[in-house]
Structure 1
Amino acid sequence: MDREGKKKSVAALNEVFTKTSVVVVAHYKGLTVAQMQNLRKQMGAAGAKVQVAKNRLVKIAIDGTDTSSIADLMKGPTLIAYSDDPVAAPKVAVAFAKDNDKLVILGGAMGRTALDVNAVKNLATLPSLDELRAKLVGLIQAPATKLAQLTTAPAAKLARVFAAYADKDAA
């Protein structure tokens, strides 16, 4: 990579580190190309991205950003997974690491907060933003549904009483 290419790479990485909410760092030594493509596909489906970059360029790019705490993790064959959703990248990375022992999660960062391996795993257990939104909509809709049931309940009870009297008279 020439000097101009390195500058563009550092600028792109710096943009990633300033705009994303969570970054996960992992070793990928031993993963096949097919496994790496599968990881990229799973991350893409969850709204996250995976990138392999030179450690030196990553260290230059994170200098002065909120995620500068991951500089110590950038040793060996590392990849970074990142997403705007604070749960998407950790969730996919942890699930993929369970199936493939070649992917070893080292840690990460969420804003200024440094994450160790256990923190990344705990973050992966949280529901995603879409799941939280769905729960919230369900909670908002529940009272309206119950109110509708209550307003129709007296009429239904009356209909059952009339049906019971009709059956009694017919017998």
Structure 2
Amino acid sequence: MARPDKAAAVAELTDAFRDSNAAVLTEYRGLTVAQLKQLRRALSGNATYAVVKNTLTAIAAKQAGIESLDADLQGPSAIAFVTGDPVEAAKGLRDFAKANPALVIKGGVLEGRSLTAAEINTLADLESREVLLAKTAGVLKASLFQAAYLFTAPAAQAARTVDALRAKREESTEEAA
């Protein structure tokens, strides 16, 4: 029978897997407590970073319906449970790993799909959600402006032609007089 504290830890990890839209598994061997605190602070808007026990995490992941983390659960492990923007969390982890090579990104899960460390780095290279939405809005606005211009162009051209004819008529009446 499982001890109550282990059962509670498994339940807490299972809830964290279910509540997050992504989870990134890392190895933190060689990082100091101050560096881990700095990493937690860097991820604070988008993710929570927790040191975990491998066997309890494997059980919790299976209960949450995630099978892909078993191979990576070796050595000292910590997980960033992402509840905000996964791109921002991946950028935070990647940037921290560049500054502190002791942090190794092992893999992860994004909305039920397993990710390798390379895919997490690719995710980190994406622009944030807000930037992508702004670019999409800009493209849509440009398309609408172009359509409006195309609809008004014939009328504007007709007005310019009428104005040119009127100017020509005035000019010819002045010459006749």
Normalised to the residue count of structure 1, the TM-score between the two structures is 0.74
Q: Which runs of 5+ in 1 are unaligned?
A: 148-171
- 5 Å matches for 1:128-143? 128-139=128-139
Cα distance change on mapping 1:145 and 1:40 into 2, 3 Å:
farther
Aligned match of 2:114? 114
Normalised to the residue count of structure 2, the TM-score between the two structures is 0.72
Cα distance change on mapping 1:50 and 1:140 into 2, 3 Å:
same
Q: Which residue identity lines up with residue 49 of structure 2 in the other structure? A: V
Aligned match of 1:62? 61
Q: Do the aligned residues in 2 keep the contact of 1:49 with 1:82 (CA within 8 Å)? A: yes
- Aligned-pair CA distance for 1:137: 4.4
Distance 2:141 2:44 in 1: 31
SS of residue matched to 2:90: helix
Distance 1:61 1:9 in 2: 9
- 5 Å matches for 1:46-125? 47-84=46-83, 85-125=85-125
SS of residue matched to 1:15: helix
Distance 1:3 1:143 in 2: 62
CA-to-partner distance for each residue in 1:98-148, whole Å, 9 max, x for gaps?
Answer: 11010011111113322111111101111222332333444556678998x
- 5 Å matches for 1:15-30? 15-30=15-30
SS of residue matched to 1:67: coil
Give the stretch that moved more between structures: 91-100 or 65-74: 65-74
Q: Do the aligned residues in 2 keep the contact of 1:21 with 1:83 (CA within 8 Å)? A: yes
How large is the RMSD of aligned CA atoms in angstroms? 2.5
Identity %: 36
Q: Do the aligned residues in 2 keep the contact of 1:17 with 1:65 (CA within 8 Å)? A: yes
Q: Do the aligned residues in 1 keep the contact of 2:14 with 2:63 (CA within 8 Å)? A: no
- Aligned-pair CA distance for 1:49: 1.3
SS of residue matched to 1:63: helix
Q: Which runs of 5+ in 2 are unaligned?
A: 149-177
Q: Which residue identity lines up with residue 71 of structure 1 in the other structure? A: D
CA-to-partner distance for each residue in 1:139-163, whole Å, 9 max, x for gaps?
Answer: 556678998xxxxxxxxxxxxxxxx
SS of residue matched to 1:82: strand
Q: Do the aligned residues in 2 keep the contact of 1:67 with 1:111 (CA within 8 Å)? A: no
Distance 2:134 2:50 in 1: 30
SS of residue matched to 1:68: coil
Q: Do the aligned residues in 2 keep the contact of 1:22 with 1:89 (CA within 8 Å)? A: no
